[in-house]
């Protein structure tokens, strides 16, 4: 096979014939960190399998603020929804937050292959179900949790992720986009948590000191 499917988990259970045809239809493209993949409201042209790197899905408000809807990691797929919908418009923006390699499958080819190979349709439906579950969790957090709770949950998740992949760096703007707030509020909450002894900031490092306490904050079990 000419394309690197190794890390694309959803294709691992496909029949050899399906994988061969998929491989013949996709093209592999390398993106630099910061490059756009798709723009919101543009016509959907393709489905994207992330082979390596990471892609941020985000929307922009009228005032220019951005909100991150999710980050698509290696092995995952993006733009499934507009491939399946009759109204084929991209629902959000996507840009690479690391140097990234994508395997790109044209929308018409994707629909044709899903018609021929039910296992591909099921794999993509499962990927969409996973995204829906993440979005449901995120919508619940935005509606029901305070910024302090959301920041604590974010810090726990990122510090856990750091143990697997220690090369991720965040600006306060990045954190704000992730949890639906603005930079100044992130700064204030980090300062408060530092004062409370939950974390320590040292020259470009946020070091989490107390998992139990952070989890209690994330759960809303500590007064704000």
Partner 1 sequence: MTEYDIPVIDQKKCTLCGLCVDICPENVLAIHAGALVFDNPNACTMCAQCESVCPEQAVSVYYHISWAEKKE
Residues that bind partner 1 (CB under 8 A): 155, 158-160, 162-163, 166, 168-173, 183-184, 187, 200-201, 203-209, 211
Tell me the closest approach of the beta carbon of residue 148 to partner 1, in angstroms.
16
Instruction: Give the residue with the Cβ less far from partner 1, 23 or 158.
Output: 158
**Minimal distance, residue 200 CB to partner 1, in Å:** 7
Residue carrying the six token digits 């018409």: 108
Question: Between residues 86 and 163, which has the closer beta carbon with respect to partner 1?
Answer: 163
Crossing angle of helices 172-179 and 147-164, in 10° steps, is: 110
Q: Is 13 helix (H, G, I), strand (E, B) or coil?
A: coil
User: What is the maximum alpha-carbon separation in the chain?
Assistant: 59
How large is the angle between the packed helices 118-144 and 147-164, nearest 10 degrees?
Answer: 140
Q: How far is the CB of 1 from partner 1 (least distance, A)?
A: 34
138 three-class SS: helix
Nearest to 54 by CA among 142, 167, 156: 167
Which of 2/203 has CB closer to partner 1?
203
Structure tokens at 214: 């952070």
Q: Whose Cβ is closer to partner 1: residue 83's or residue 151's?
A: 151
Shortest gap between Cβ of 171 and partner 1 (angstroms)? 5
């Amino acid at each position: 096979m000419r394309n690197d499917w190794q890390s694309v988990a959803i294709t691992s259970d496909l029949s050899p014939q399906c994988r061969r045809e998929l491989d013949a239809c996709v093209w592999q493209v390398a993106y630099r960190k910061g490059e756009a993949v798709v723009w919101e409201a543009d016509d959907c042209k393709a489905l994207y399998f992330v082979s390596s790197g990471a892609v941020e899905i985000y929307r922009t408000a009228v005032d220019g603020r951005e909100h991150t809807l999710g980050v698509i990691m290696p092995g995952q797929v993006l733009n499934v929804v507009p491939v399946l919908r009759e109204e084929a418009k991209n629902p959000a923006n996507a840009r690479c937050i690391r140097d990234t390699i994508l395997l790109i499958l044209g929308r018409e080819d994707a629909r044709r292959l899903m018609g021929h190979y039910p296992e591909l349709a099921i794999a993509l439906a499962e990927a969409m179900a996973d995204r829906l579950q993440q979005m449901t969790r995120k919508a619940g957090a935005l509606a029901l949790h305070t910024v302090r709770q959301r920041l604590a949950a974010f810090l726990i998740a990122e510090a856990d992720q750091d143990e697997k992949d220690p090369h991720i760096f965040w600006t306060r703007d990045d954190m704000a986009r992730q949890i639906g707030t603005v930079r100044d509020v992130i700064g204030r909450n980090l300062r408060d948590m530092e004062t409370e002894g939950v974390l320590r900031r040292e020259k470009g490092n946020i070091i989490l000191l107390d998992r139990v306490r952070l989890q209690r904050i994330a759960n809303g079990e500590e007064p704000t």
